[in-house]
Amino acid sequence: MTEPTIRPAVVALEAGAIALRRDLHENAELSTKEHRTQALIMERLVKLGLDDVRAIAETGVTAIVRGGQPGPNLMWRADIDGLPLDEATGHSFASTNGAMHACGHDGHVAIGLSLAELVQRSRASLAGTVRFAFQPAEEHVGGAKRMIEEGVMREPTVERVFGLHIWASNPTGEVLVVPGAIFAAATHFRIIVRGRGGHAAAPHQTVDPILAAAHVVVALQSVVSRNVDPASTAVLTVGRIDGGVRGNIIPNEVMMSGSIRTFDADVLARVLKRAEQIVAGVTQGFGAEYQFDSSTLPAVVNDPEAAALVEATAAAMLGAENVGGASVTGADDMSYFLEEAPGAYFLLGAAPTSGEHVYPHHHPKFDFDEAALSVGTELSLRILEAASGSALV
């Protein structure tokens, strides 16, 4: 791949962006607990001289650059929280506090702050405004909604919103963007199987919820394979089972929870309906009862015009051969911002170049290529230039 052209102003920020990313990584914080991260971001934004620097959604931050020329009101979103993982990368800057940036959010903050500095430096030539939203609680879900409820997209009203996600599955210098859904809707479900507990030595006197729950888990695997068109996309995973206190006691109930991922509302409705039918039938067969609850995070849906802008900008910078389209079954509450205003979310290639394996997002050994920070900053700046009709820096 031909090396992309990165302007000197971005290159000059690279060392600082890497140092910031490593500091955030070493001091990762969980959703709704991002107090140190929040303070660091606010300190940087105040020092840069942005307007309206303030806390929002308890542990988030927002600020705005007001351009010297009339133009659109844009927003750039970056999420800031880590995951509850014990890091196993072996880095000198590895986190040791039980929280880990295993999804690249430390890189999102580093890119977002570099972008804020460059836009603020160019505010005299900026047409319109750029609102920066450093969002807490993406991994836990709730941060985006709360920011919106607290007015992050008002005063001025945001007309277009953009953001990126570091993507370690693709090499640095590649970008993935599509019109329409790029991240799936994520439906969390919880099932409680209620039986009648008793002594493990006398199971005939009980209704064993563990046995019923085991059959429920197996039966649920037929939902996608036998009820969803193979041309459609759906995933149903049971990720947690919790029941019982010791081996010689049959408990009264078992709880299980999991996730459904889809891109289509009709497919989701079909999967949910069939899943509950299976739970009802299996539990009835064992003489047990059930409770089935679910809640859905919407799909991340890109506006076609905004996605085309990102695609064209990335192709001009990186080469059309390095810009592709993909929809993934991950989920992200960027979806709520894109429900409020048209915009685009894209995936920034950042596969690590050392080691034999590329570990997936949410893995204790997850890592990404720090060279992607400058690539992401340059591309993001070009997107804001294209969306605002401005020439910056």
Q: What is the Cβ-side half-sphere exposure of residue 3, based on CA atoms within 13 angstroms? A: 5
Tokens 């836990």 locate to 140
How far is residue 283's CA from residue 22's CA, in Å, rounded to a whole number?
A: 50
> Which run of H or E residues covers position 2?
none
Tokens of 270: 């079909």
How far is residue 361's CA from residue 32's CA, in Å, rounded to a whole number?
A: 20
Q: What is the DSSP string of 230-279?
A: TTS-EEEEEEEEEE-SSTTEE-SEEEEEEEEEES-HHHHHHHHHHHHHHH
Per the DSSP assignment, residues forming a β-bridge with 271 are none
Which amino acid type is present at position 230? P
Catalytic residue check, 81: yes
How far is residue 3's CA from residue 248's CA, in Å, rounded to a whole number?
A: 64
Note the helical H segments in the chain.
8-11, 14-26, 35-48, 105-121, 143-149, 209-220, 222-227, 265-285, 304-318, 334-340, 372-388
Q: What separation in angstroms does the CA of 287 have from each of 22, 74, 195, 210, 345?
A: 55, 57, 7, 12, 48
Q: At what angle do helices 14-26 and 372-388 cross, to 10 degrees?
A: 110
Other CB atoms closer than 10 Å to residue 315's CB: what's the count? Answer: 14
Other CB atoms closer than 10 Å to residue 371's CB: what's the count? Answer: 15
How far is residue 197's CA from residue 159's CA, in Å, rounded to a whole number?
A: 57
Residues 6+ apart with CB under 8 A from 47: none
Phi–psi pair at 383, nearest 5 degrees = -65, -45
The catalytic residue among 29, 34, 79, 81 is 81
The catalytic residue among 79, 87, 138, 208 is 138
Q: Helix, strand, coil % (nearest 5) of the chain?
A: 35, 30, 35
| Catalytic machinery residues | 81, 138
